[in-house]
Structure 1
Amino acid sequence: MKTVLPDRQQSLVQWVSQATGINTFGVKVRLRGNDLHILCEGTECPQRWRTLSDLLQALQQTNLDILTNSEQTSIYQVFVYGRRKGEQRPSWCHRVHLNQIDKHLEQVEQALLTDSEKSKQLGGALIVSNESLARQGNPEAIARYLSETLSALGVSVQAKIKLYKPKNSQPEENRLWIFCQSSYSPDASLLAEPIAQKLRYLKLSGYQDAVIVSQVIGETAPDWLLRVDLTPPEVMLKEWARWGDVQAIARLLTEVLSELKVAVQVSLKESTLHIFCSPAFDPLGPAPIPDKEVCLEAILPQLEAIAPQGILATTIYGQKAGDKQPTWIDWLALPAAKHPAFAISPLDLANTGDEPAMIFLLERLLNPDLDWRLLTGGIRVLLLNKNDLLHIMCDAPVCPVRQQVASKITQFIRQLKIPGIMGVRIYGRRSGNKEPFWHYGVDLEHRQRLVPEATPEFAATSIYINDLVTSETSEPILRPDLTTEEVQSFVTEVARDWIATASSTAKKFLLKSQLFTESKQSAETSPDVQGLKIALVWGTLGLLLTLQTDWVLGRIIARSMPSSPKVASVTLPSSSEQKPSLTSGENQSEKRTLFTSTSKTKSSPNESSVFNASEFTQSDETPTNNLAAAPLKEKATATAILLAARSQMPSFNVRQLDEQLALYKQRLAKTGSPPDVLIIGSSRALRGVDPAALSKALATQGYPNLDVFNFGINGATAQVVEFVIRHVLEPSELPKIIIWADGARAFNGGREDITFNSIATSAGYKQAFQKTSTTVDSSDSPENTLNSEEKNATEEKQDISTYQAVNQSLNEALASVSSSYQNRDQIKSLLQKQLLILGQNQTVASQKQLTDGTSDQSISQQAVDFDGFLPLSIRFNPARYYQKHSKVPGNYDNDYKSFQVEGQQDAAFQEVLQFTQSKNIPLIFVNMPLTGDYLDPVRKQYEQEFQQYMLRLATNPNFIYRDLSQQWPKANDYFSDPSHLNRFGAYEVSKKLANDPMIPWPVK
């Protein structure tokens, strides 16, 4: 089978064949990065030096870049192989540097005159390595040096030098630009450290840094950027030695004394530096004790020039290897003893807010391995002190891991206690990027922010890349034999066939019901007699059912009518002014009669009322001290029950989901737009975040008039939240930001998800997925839909008078015959009362299934408000609570049974992350507060596992994680039970979220 090579490879093969005289069938070529690989084979292995001589002479007269396409970057070196046909491995291999062809020719000619072994020795001295040339700072040599590593990965390299002017008004400096191009997108973390190590190994002078730009062949924008700090290792060591770093001082002194064959050990005690000089290891025998004068002459100038911060003196010892007692000792004062500015330790300077000292201490903290820092540049720290916040950017060739640096920095800043600093904001990014990959914030003290905080800007080093990256845009290229018009025609034809198929299916279904016939059908195919019989049968059945229903309703009303006057006679006079309300849940007059005092005297204003702030009778567990909370709003449970009953959408088998969705739909119909902020989650969200308090707190922070709705659902897991966000809510009903308030138990993939399993068997679940598929597959355009609606509205307007006349005559006829028509208002009222009773029973039954510990009676009395929030005024009292409820330890808690964060809940969470990112909706997960009674050792272990899981996912730029689980472990007044907040705790959580500067609240 003949293999067709690309045009560029065909031309290369032909060129090699002409240059070497080898048949084209014996030549194979391959381009990888900046390297060209040429394999020459024959019945006998081609002679090495003769083949190379012919090839090198041809290379002197040919520019290989002409033989490749324009997208391929320059070829820096050629690998030539020789082997016999049929063999797997080549017999010889030779690397040719195209910038040293003359030296290679000289080597080959020498080899042709002498034996091969001697030629190898002579030739090795002639060829200069790319590393040696790159150390001189030549950009082409640097590119060739890097290509030795990157070409094996299929990455080609190009280098340039450009001047740039720093922001601090310093003179212009050289910046090295490395342009990497490949047919795929290499992972930045895979190439970052190898490139950084190879560049820093060169110890280039004259360059402050290097910027690496990676781009996929054919793309117009760079894939990623990387900045490499080219500060020489000696300069880095002197910078840290200047701050008194013992390890850096030891490295510098070792380099100085190594020539004297003296080994050095350094330690610091208080403000004195101790230097031990001993003879270096000598394989020829024991070395003499280091000379005192020689050591002092080498050490003292170094320490004087460094002037280490906070070190007042040094003691130098000379001793024999293995001896404990020194042979000689000398003590000397350092510059810090004469200059008070040098005497202050870096830690004391950092406590006063000195930024250079803080930068050194933070970089030393984050770079414990000095060798790694010298090889790659390490983690660089940028500081920005803004108002009462300290912003810290962690910058490295590979983005620092949040879990490894955030806790260290936070603990260190807490120890410093810098005056005026009330919080710290930590960021992480890859060197060269302007925006951080992740962020983390902690408030050291309580902060009251009156205006929104601006995002700090750290200097970006990766700018002005237009010279290296092409900016031309082009239209997508189709196949040569396929035009855009043909594609459009094909799509239209498929859509037309789909509509025709759907119409045919609907038509067949309607005809099979025998209630419809085709309008143009002939009398032979559709007999009138058969149609008349079918119509009579269906009509008779419908009439009988209507008459029977009317008769039953009439009997029910007749039985209930005599009791009406008695009810009216016992009503209090004041109740006649009360209008009946369908949202109160019970008659106001009955409530007054039940709680009226028998003494009929008004209570004193100073006396404690029998009602609490929620207008329910106070229980023994309700303390009398006041806590801050948002005012209670009108209850909406009864309204939600009615709205859910009247909804055209089938039930989801979860009463609270049906009711919350009904309230949400009513909010959309009222406001005309979705809420700005949507709170979602399980009962911890339902009771733990107060929309009214959050909206009010955001208004004080500069975000007025934000609409907030709580979509909490008892027992909701990650699967339930994913289903609601992606499948229940329409795209036009999605909010601007989502606050997911919950805890570890909602992500336990090891336990049975009862709530979601109940939803998955419902009719609403099936309809939601059918609606989703219909939305995706529908080809109806908005214009056609609008025209159809306008046409239908016009036709209805024309027939409205006829319809009204017919309707009125039918109503009059029905009224004269029906026994229940006159009492239709009473029937409606009776049905509403029965529906309310049924809804209350369902509320009690569903709440009894909760395992959160709150009493069933208190839950059944409470109701959500029109913001979807459930305000509970009960305060958790462990002494009384555990008299009524058993204390369940974590190892027996079903919520944590077989705990694992991997599985179905994790998959659902990943779907939510991808969906919100595609819709550009910020997602904030809040791990809700828990009591110390709830967090026993078993649950703490699961919480730590959940913390690690969330922190791994927090690198997503569209996702923010906030941990409040241990915010108030002993503040029982903020909780209604061990694991749920009451309305007072919800008020505090809402304020804390509003004051969080990392949450991107929407602006109206």
Structure 2
Amino acid sequence: MKTVSIDSQRSLVQWVSQATGINTFGVKVRLLGNDLHILCEGIECPQRWHTLSELLHALQHTDLDELTSEEQPSIYQVFVYGRKKGEYRPQWCHKVYLNQLDRHLEQVEQLLLADAEQSKQPGGALIVSNESLARQGNPDAIARYLSENLSNLGVAVKVQIKPHKSKANSESTSNRLWILCQASYSPDPSLLAEPVAQHLRHLKLKGYEDAVIVAQVRGENEPDWRLRIDLTPPEAMLKEWARWGDVQAIARLLNELLSDLKIAVQASLKESTLHLFCSPAFDPLETAEAPAKDVCLEAILPQLEAIAPQGILAATIYGQKTSDKQPHWVDWQSLPASQHPALATPALELATAGDEPAIIFLLERLLNHDLDWRLKTGGLRVLLLRKGDLLHIMCDAPNCPARHQVAHKVIQFIRQLKIPNLHGVRVYGRRAGNKEPLWNQGADFAQRPRLVPEPAPEFAVASEYISAILNNETEEPVLRPDLTGEDVKNVVTEFADNSLNTLRNWLFSSQIFTEVNQSTDQTPDEQGIKGGLIWIALGLLLTLQSDWMMGFVITRTLPHSSPAGSVSAKSNSSPNNQSAQTPLINHTSANDTTAFNASGFIQDDKSDKSPLQQKATATAILLAARSQIPSFNARQLDEQLALYKQRLAKTGKPPDVLIIGSSRALRGVDPVALNQALATQGYSNVEIFNFGINGATAQVVDFIIRYVLESTELPKLILFADGSRAFNSGREDITFNAIAVSKGYKQVLAKANQAATDNQPSTPKTEPDTSATTQPIKPELNIYQIANETINQGLTSLSTTYQNRNYLKGILQKQLQNLPFATNQSIANLQQATDAETDSGQLAVDFDGFLPISIRFNPTTYYQKHPRVAGSYDNDYKDFSLSGKQDAAIKSLLQFTQSRKIPLVFVNMPLTSDYLDPARRKYEQEFQQYMLQLANQPNFIYRDLSLLWPTANENFSDPSHLNRYGAYEVSKKLATDSLIPWPVK
């Protein structure tokens, strides 16, 4: 458990020693949570009241928090112990509340004056307990009250109060308690949930709807978990159930009402009549007269009138002695349900008709069988959401309800209700405060058109205020100060200065450069400058000679091939050669169930339900080279388009589903796995193609769909799989800017402009409507790409080896393996790097356009080779803005697809928790709101999978991209999504 640091411990020990006169060797201190424990020992046990008096006087003039480090939590209570050296147990212990020092001191001095005995305990008249102060709603008092129990666990507590909109009345505001718990470890939620809930509800605080516990490990910025506690008063909970006619709740309310009159009430329900038996609240062995009739009726009847219990028409009230079986008096009264037909129907009949509030009450009554437990902790709460013929039921509690204790009861109860047009139920369980369920279970009551797992609904009733906790209020103050912006600026400035000085000194040491502002007395080293120029000339000459010699060697060793940009006819005509270039990979059959072991985990990386397909490297290059369409300055776009055109020529029709997007789509959705999963749902022979392109944005996707593809080449459904960074208009769109300066772009744009001018489109694609003739956004000229292309062309014409650099690289790698100093480890590392580049590059797509990556993301090894880039410094999120050119592109695409009646489905692809740091989470929340607004458009569907597997690293190849195993699971999940209108043959 957490103790004070060494420096703080020395300061506290010295302070206690000076205050009490006890040698420092006889003082020991320990900090647990918000409690400071001080042990005073000597040859003889220190005198209790004398030691306390001196210590209390010192505490009046000392702030203990100043004696500890800034990272230590505030101190609320001090425990002082006294014992004799050599003994194990202290002889006395005294608890001091730091907010009541004056009262403690007054009490101790009174005992000293009275010469009280050493074992006498102080009276409680002067000291007010933390519980009494906490009932008044003071946050410091509540923190001290909770720390009395949590400090023993090493948990420090801090309480804050923040107003928020009431969930009952959106126009009014109420208070919410924020309880920040900090420890050196992550306490299990089940360890704190019910104890803290009981202590908070025991206070019966007024003006609070709920409390949120935030647990944070000391030294970390992000909270470890959150927990919501319902602070609805017990009386309100009892009245809510009594309103539905719950007999036990009515009896509990009446007993509390009549407790001052020494009257006990027992209740029972027969048909629609409530029977109440009033008797003296004495010991059963004693005899007493029956309660007065007028007193009982005067107290009970107004309460029953106010409650107006559902389905109870009348009440019969009895007065009797404790020992008598026959009542002393009887009275019968009608209740509001006898006059109002809406109140006459019992809750069970309403639930059978599908009334959701009645179903919620009956389920909560079924699952909260212990009424005392519900009143103490808030109990188990039920939320309902009906979607079509399915009823979704969420059960949450301070500790997540156990599946075996809840699911079967709920399913059996709903089955017995026989609600009209209800064919199934789905039950979920979660811990209060969580948005996502921890488990789910379902059952169907009748044959449904699609026997598939339905996606978990978003419980709007719950997420209305839970989202506020998770999203809007995550910037809560923590118990540890963070780095300021000035600190970061100083570090960056210092690093930049050191780097510039190092570069400057290196340039001066080369004798090629000299200082400009040197004095006139210092004559420049002309010999050094001349020598530098000579060495530069010699270096250039040596470079040219080496290039010519290498070019001569390569031309002699290079296999006979056609000029650059074409492919030899031999490689094209020989099936064997083509097979050698694109070898088939042995893989497990799609129907082979041995790919998974008995526990359901993948046995190895070579066997999977989604097998590797034949790679289309050579075919894509060949088709792109033969294509009549000029290049788009994006090799992958050229090759993907060539594969797509070949597929059209082979099948004679476009695919049913087109997957498009950036590398997240290219790697994240497997057409084969999606086809197989759809087949199990009754969608047979669905043709699917993955048109993913590295770096594609909304502009790129809009350009491909509206301009590159003809009308006859458009699919029946477009699956746009990507993330928020594809819609960031603030960053430079490198991919689209490269496309926009290409010959292919100019040709496509000229074709569209010509069709618009002639008003007679050459293809059905460009018929005259606003969506088809709207030109794509003209990008800014990318001078860097133009310069790069110019330099490449210049080097190609000047150098004889530059155009064959890849072939030269292969020769050098082979020769390196034959060198005597080349160890097996170095060769293996080189081969591994080459394989990784091939696996993750553009040349590994299969004939369906999918890029399967077998690498599994391991943070430990990944960040040894790649830097960890925070979201604040990620160029993909630079100047993050969802309004601008990307927004215009997606809206143009929506208008176009709506005019063609093509459903557009956007899937926000999964991300890891390593990737979703606070900065990226903020951008993701903005993106969520943006997409929910777009979701109001017809024929547009938004599915959010970003938090599907935040910690399942085995499904990712890096922090933001899926591997082929993750792509397989995502494809299965999409196939079972009932909201996506998959095309039917």
The TM-score with structure 1 as length reference comes to 0.51
Q: For residue 409 of structure 1, what is the aligned residue in structure 2?
A: 410
The SS at the match of 1:278 is strand
Q: Report the CA distance shift for 1:83/1:704 in structure 2 as closer, same or farther (over 3 A).
A: same
Distance in 2, Cα, partners of 1:296 & 1:655: 73
Distance 1:79 1:669, change over 3 A: same
1:958–1:669 distance in 2 versus 1, CA, 3 Å: farther
**RMSD of aligned C-alpha atoms?**
5.0
CA distance in 2, matches of 1:459, 1:698: 40
**Residue in structure 1 matched with residue 724 of structure 2 by the alignment:** none
Cα 1:328/1:704, change in 2 over 3 Å: farther
SS of residue matched to 2:239: helix
Paired position in structure 2 for 1:331: 332
Gap change, CA 1:321 and 1:453, over 3 Å in 2: closer
User: Match of 2:131, SS?
Assistant: helix
Matches within 5 A, 1:451-462: 455-457=458-460, 458-461=463-466, 462=469
Give the counterpart letter for 2:807 in structure 1: A
Counterparts of 1:390 and 1:128, CA distance in 2: 51
Question: Given that residues 678 and 976 in structure 2 are in contact (C-alpha distance below 8 angstroms), is that contact kept between their aligned partners in structure 1?
Answer: no
Residue in 2 aligned with 1:468? 477
Query: Closer, same or farther in 2 for the Cα pair 1:27/1:237, shift >3 Å?
Result: same
For residues 920-943 of structure 1, give each alpha carbon's deviation from its aligned partner in whole angstroms, at most 9, with x where no partner exists.
99xxxxxxxxxxxxxxxxxxxxxx
Which amino acid in structure 2 is aligned with residue 391 of structure 1? H
Q: 2 CA distance for matches of 1:46 and 1:365?
A: 58
5 Å matches for 1:128-143? Answer: 128-143=128-143
CA distance in 2, matches of 1:678, 1:137: 59
Partner of 1:267: 268
**More divergent stretch after superposition (55-64 vs 357-366):** 357-366
Q: Please tell me the residue identity of whatever aligns with 2:464.
A: A
Q: Deviations over 1:754-782 (max 9, x none)?
A: xxxxxxxxxxxxxxxxxxxxxxxxxxxxx
* Aligned counterparts of 2:609 and 2:372: Cα–Cα separation in 1: 63
Q: In structure 1, what residue type is equivalent to 2:90?
A: P
Q: Note the C-alpha offset of 1:664.
A: 3.4
Does structure 2 retain, via aligned residues, the 8 Å contact 1:110–1:119?
Answer: no
Mapped to 2, the partners of 1:367 and 1:790 lie a distance apart of 76
Partner of 1:436: 437
Pick closer, same or farther for the CA change 1:666–1:360 going to 2, 3 Å. Answer: closer
2:679 aligned with 1:693: yes
SS in 1 for 2:434: coil
What pairs with 1:139-538 in structure 2 (closer than 5 Å)? 139-166=139-166, 168-282=169-283, 285-448=286-449, 455-457=458-460, 458-461=463-466, 462=469, 463-469=472-478, 472=482
What does the per-residue CA deviation read over 1:21-46, in whole Å, with 9 as the maximum and x for residues that have no partner? 11111111000001000011111111
| CA displacement 1:358-395 (0-9 Å, x = unmatched) | 22112112111101000100011222334444332222
Counterpart in 2 of 1:28?
28
Amino acid at match of 1:697: Y
Shift of 1:77: 0.8
SS of equivalent residue, structure 1 residue 250? helix
- Report the CA distance between 1:993 and its aligned residue: 9.8
Whether contact under 8 Å (1:668, 1:674) holds in the other structure is no
For residue 404 of structure 1, what is the amino acid of its counterpart? Q
CA-to-aligned-CA distance 1:680-718 (integer Å, 9 cap, x gap): 9xxxxxxxx965724872999xx96589xxxxxxxxxxx
1:80-95 to structure 2, matched below 5 A, reads 80-95=80-95
Change (3 A) 1:919 1:30: closer
Return the letter of the residue paired with 1:147: S
In structure 1, distance between residues paired with 2:685 and 2:448: 16
1:243-293 CA deviation, whole Å, 9 max, x = no partner? 100110111122223333333221111111111223333378322233333
In the alignment, the residues of structure 2 paired with residue 659 and residue 430 of structure 1 have an alpha-carbon distance, to the nearest angstrom, of 38
Give, in angstroms, the shift of residue 997 of structure 1. 5.0
Count residues in correspondence.
Answer: 582
Structure 1 residue 472 displacement after superposition: 4.4
**How much does 1:651 deviate?**
12
Counterpart residue number, 2:873: none
Distance 1:301 1:388 in 2: 43
DSSP-derived class of the 2:264 partner: strand
Q: TM-score, normalised by structure 2?
A: 0.52
DSSP-derived class of the 2:45 partner: coil
| 3-state DSSP of counterpart to 2:433 | coil
- The verdict on how the C-alpha distance between 1:789 and 1:425 changes in structure 2, with shifts beyond 3 A counting, is farther
SS in 2 for 1:78: strand
2:797 match: none
- What is the CA–CA distance in structure 2 between the aligned matches of 1:659 and 1:73, rounded to whole Å? 52
1:417 positional shift: 3.2
Change in CA separation of 1:698 and 1:460 when aligned onto 2, cut-off 3 Å: farther
Is the contact made by 2:45 and 2:91 (CA closer than 8 Å) also made in structure 1?
yes
- Please list, as runs of the form range in 1=range in 2, the aligned pairs for 1:715-734 lying within 5 A after superposition: none
SS in 1 for 2:362: helix
Aligned position for 1:664 = 611
CA distance in 1, matches of 2:18, 2:271: 77
Unaligned runs of 5+ in 1: 478-482, 486-638, 681-688, 708-735, 737-786, 799-865, 868-910, 922-954, 960-989
Residues 345, 206 of structure 1: CA spacing in aligned structure 2 closer, same or farther, 3 A cutoff?
A: same
1:793 alignment counterpart: 807
CA distance in 2 between partners of 1:797 and 1:103 (Å): 89
Question: Aligned runs of 1:725-744 on 2, under 5 Å?
Answer: none
Secondary structure of 2:297 counterpart: helix
Distance 1:233 1:4, change over 3 A: closer
Cα distance in 2 for partners of 1:662, 1:133 equals 63
**Given the superposition, is the C-alpha separation of residues 85 and 382 from structure 1 closer, same or farther in structure 2, using an over 3 Å criterion?**
same
CA-to-aligned-CA distance 1:645-668 (integer Å, 9 cap, x gap): x9898999x999899889934445
In structure 2, the residue corresponding to 1:234 is in which secondary structure? Answer: helix
Q: Secondary structure at the match of 1:664?
A: coil
Q: 1:293 to 1:663 in 2, by over 3 A?
A: closer
How far the C-alpha of 1:460 sits from its partner, in A, is 3.6
Mapped to 2, the partners of 1:698 and 1:213 lie a distance apart of 49
Mean Cα deviation higher: 93-102 or 464-473: 464-473
Q: SS in structure 1 opposite 2:464? A: coil
Q: 1:663 to 1:446 in 2, by over 3 A?
A: closer
CA distance in 2, matches of 1:71, 1:432: 28
- CA deviation after TM superposition for structure 1 residue 54, in Å: 0.8
Q: Which amino acid in 1 is paired with 2:476? A: D
- Per-residue deviation at 1:995? 4.6
The CA distance in 2 between the partners of 1:788 and 1:68, in whole Å, is 66
Distance 1:282 1:305 in 2: 31
Cα contact 1:277–1:317 (8 A) shared by 2: yes
CA distance in 2: counterparts of 1:432 and 1:651, whole angstroms: 43
Residue type of the alignment partner of 1:129: S
> Counterpart of 1:126 in 2: which secondary structure?
coil
> How far does residue 336 in structure 1 lie from its aligned partner after superposition?
0.6
Task: Tell me by how many angstroms 1:176 deviates.
Answer: 1.4
In 1, the alpha carbon distance for the partners of 2:134 and 2:225 equals 24
Once the two structures are TM-superposed, the CA of residue 207 in structure 1 deviates from its matched residue by: 1.2
Partners of 2:269 and 2:593 in 1: CA distance: 70
1:9 is paired with a residue of what secondary structure? Answer: helix
Is the Cα contact below 8 Å between 2:262 and 2:281 reproduced in 1? Answer: yes
Q: CA deviation at 1:678?
A: 9.8
Distance 1:118 1:330 in 2: 62
